[in-house]
């Protein structure tokens, strides 16, 4: 949980410094770049959850050689995914940002920010995914240290580069890249010298695209959740640009307010992701050991905590949206008016939103990718994009906002049904397992 919250500080801190320096155009610039940041987050989860779940399941089966290969395959997958995102972003920056909803006013600020952070995508991938493997190796404190060191350095460098060197939005981008590079070096150091549960060999890191595919498949559930969130952000930005221009607020105000809200909400997402990541090694290991009662117990606890946190976040969004927005710089009365509407309407059912990640992660920890993907598919693909097309035609900009809670409700219903059925199945498997043990004891 701490690692996930600290990771989210990268985006929050940049937004705070940029918003208070550049105002609305700065907040809008980071918002239109945010889909690619979410994409990196998605791939980081895939490269972290997939290999670490495979490692834990194999350790549960007492197969340390397969566990070591999972670590090596995960590292290769991290490098590959970082390059796959960085290269197109560096070459086609401007057209990609147009697709992401960028306006002509915001483009001069968004382009340098996007290009610079792209240089660090490989470092970012390893710095974010590597701690999953380190936690799976029974070193959660060092995993947290890797991420916390980078986040703390990011804050310091933001202040130096933006206020000291007067680099503006470029300074925020370079601070992020430099901080991620330090986290990357710490992960590499651990993998070279400190792995304890298993012993890594050079042959474990030999490129194996078939193994990469297996690792990616196991981590596809949580990754699909964030991949579709990136897609949703693109649709949302374009809808805000289109219908915002036709409203009294204008496109840039809508993009900036939504950017602040999305960055703030990344803290809420981080809480859910953190609890889910804590569930993963417990669920994967005990599933491998056929201790199904422990899997169900851990899952129930995590979902309960996620729902309680969601209620607290809901209260903050409903009561203090203007105060929250004002932390990220000044703006006009219209800017704060729309920010209040965005928090209160778009995140109306934020208390249920955590079910998407936590329940999907519960299925991924057991290697049940299809159910994990289904939960994300309902909100991010089947409901949200169509609603963004249909509702604004009748409700204008308000239709864009109401598409959020309606999609959240549909997802929550599906997630609850699948989760309840899976818990019953685990209970039945545990009864069968207990019966088998009793028969062996009698014999």
**225 vs 58: which has the higher pLDDT:** 58
Q: What is the mean pLDDT of residues 219-245?
A: 88
Nearest to 389, CA basis, from 375, 379, 403, 404: 403
| Cα–Cα distance measured from residue 60 to residue 64, given in angstroms and rounded to the nearest whole number | 9
CA distances from 403 to 31, 206, 250, 348 (A): 19, 46, 20, 11
With beta carbons less than 8 A apart as the criterion, state whether 53 and 288 touch: no
Q: What is the mean pLDDT of residues 132-152?
A: 90
Return the minimum-mean-pLDDT range out of 273-277, 343-347, 438-442: 438-442
Angle (CA) 18-22-26 rounded to 5° is 65
Q: Is a pLDDT exceeding 90 seen at residue 327?
A: yes
With beta carbons less than 8 A apart as the criterion, state whether 126 and 75 touch: yes
**C-alpha of 346 from chain center:** 19
CA distances from 247 to 51, 126, 264, 392 (A): 47, 43, 24, 12
Mean pLDDT of the chain: 91
What band does 138 get if pLDDT is binned at 50, 70 and 90? Answer: confident
**Number of helices (H) and strands (E), helices first, in the chain?**
18, 0
Q: What is the mean pLDDT of residues 322-328?
A: 95
Both tokens assigned to 285: 């290991």
Both tokens assigned to 323: 């105060």
What would the pLDDT profile of 43-101 be if each residue is shown by its tens digit?
998 999 889 888 888 887 888 888 889 999 999 999 999 999 999 999 999 999 999 99
Q: Say which DSSP state 332 is in.
A: -
**425 vs 368: which has the higher pLDDT:** 425
Mark residue 247 as left, alpha or beta (left: phi above 0; alpha: psi -120 to 50; beta: remaining): beta
Q: Return the percentage of the chain with pLDDT > 90, whole number.
A: 65
**C-alpha of 77 from chain center:** 18
| Cα–Cα distance measured from residue 238 to residue 31, given in angstroms and rounded to the nearest whole number | 12
Nearest to 158, CA basis, from 166, 182, 186: 166
**320 vs 373: which has the higher pLDDT:** 320
Q: Return the percentage of the chain with pLDDT > 70, whole number.
A: 98
pTM: 0.84
Q: Is a pLDDT exceeding 70 seen at residue 441?
A: no
CA distances from 431 to 185, 284, 286, 363, 365 (A): 47, 19, 15, 20, 21
CA distances from 441 to 238, 429, 433, 436 (A): 64, 18, 12, 9
Which residues have C-beta within 8 Å of that of residue 162, sequence separation ≥ 6? 17, 18, 21, 168, 171, 172, 175
| Cα–Cα distance measured from residue 439 to residue 75, given in angstroms and rounded to the nearest whole number | 44
What band does 162 get if pLDDT is binned at 50, 70 and 90? Answer: very high
Largest CA distance in the chain: 79
What band does 316 get if pLDDT is binned at 50, 70 and 90? Answer: very high
What band does 227 get if pLDDT is binned at 50, 70 and 90? Answer: confident
Q: Is a pLDDT exceeding 90 seen at residue 235?
A: yes
Q: How many CB atoms lie within 10 A of CB 318?
A: 14
Q: Is a pLDDT exceeding 70 seen at residue 296?
A: yes
- Report the half-sphere exposure of 123 (CA within 13 A, side-chain side): 20
Both tokens assigned to 178: 């430099």
Return the minimum-mean-pLDDT range out of 101-115, 214-228, 306-320, 410-424: 214-228
Element (H, E) at 398: helix 397-442
């Amino acid at each position: 949980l701490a690692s996930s919250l600290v990771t989210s500080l990268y985006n929050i801190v940049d937004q705070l410094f940029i918003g208070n320096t550049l105002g609305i155009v700065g907040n809008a610039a980071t918002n239109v770049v945010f889909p690619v940041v979410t994409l990196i987050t998605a791939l980081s989860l895939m490269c972290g959850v997939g290999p670490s779940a495979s490692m834990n399941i194999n350790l549960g089966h007492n197969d340390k050689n397969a566990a070591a290969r999972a670590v090596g395959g995960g590292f290769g997958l991290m490098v590959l995914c970082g390059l796959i995102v960085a290269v197109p972003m560096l070459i086609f920056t401007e057209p990609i940002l147009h697709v992401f909803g960028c306006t002509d006013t915001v483009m001069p600020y968004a382009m340098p920010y996007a290009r610079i952070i792209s240089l660090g995508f490989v470092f970012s991938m390893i710095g974010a995914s590597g701690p999953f493997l380190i936690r799976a190796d029974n070193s959660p404190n060092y995993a947290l240290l890797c991420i916390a060191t980078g986040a703390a350095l990011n804050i310091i460098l933001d202040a130096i580069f933006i206020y000291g060197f007067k680099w503006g939005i470029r300074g925020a981008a370079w601070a992020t890249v430099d901080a991620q590079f330090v986290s990357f070096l710490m992960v590499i150091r651990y993998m070279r010298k400190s792995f304890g549960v298993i012993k890594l060999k050079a042959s474990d890191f030999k490129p194996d695209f078939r193994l990469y595919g297996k690792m990616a498949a196991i981590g596809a559930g949580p990754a699909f959740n964030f991949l579709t969130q990136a897609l949703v952000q693109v649709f949302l930005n374009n809808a805000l640009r289109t219908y915002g221009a036709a409203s009294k607020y204008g496109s840039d105000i809508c993009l900036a307010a939504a950017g602040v809200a999305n960055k703030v909400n990344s803290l809420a997402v981080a809480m859910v992701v953190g609890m889910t990541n804590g569930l993963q090694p417990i669920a994967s290991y005990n599933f491998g050991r056929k201790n199904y009662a422990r899997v169900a117990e851990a899952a129930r606890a995590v979902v309960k905590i996620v729902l309680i946190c969601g209620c607290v976040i809901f209260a903050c969004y409903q009561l203090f949206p203007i105060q929250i927005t004002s932390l990220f710089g000044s703006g006009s009365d219209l800017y704060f008016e729309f920010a209040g509407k965005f928090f209160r309407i778009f995140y109306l059912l934020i208390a249920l939103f955590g079910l998407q990640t936590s329940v999907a992660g519960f299925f991924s920890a057991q290697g049940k990718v299809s159910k994990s993907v289904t939960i994300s598919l309902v909100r991010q693909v089947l409901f949200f994009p169509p609603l963004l097309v249909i509702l604004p035609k009748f409700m204008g900009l308000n239709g864009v906002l109401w598409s959020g809670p309606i999609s959240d409700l549909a997802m929550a219903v599906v997630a609850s049904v699948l989760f309840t059925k899976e818990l019953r199945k685990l209970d039945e498997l545990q009864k069968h397992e207990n019966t088998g043990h009793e028969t062996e004891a009698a014999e």
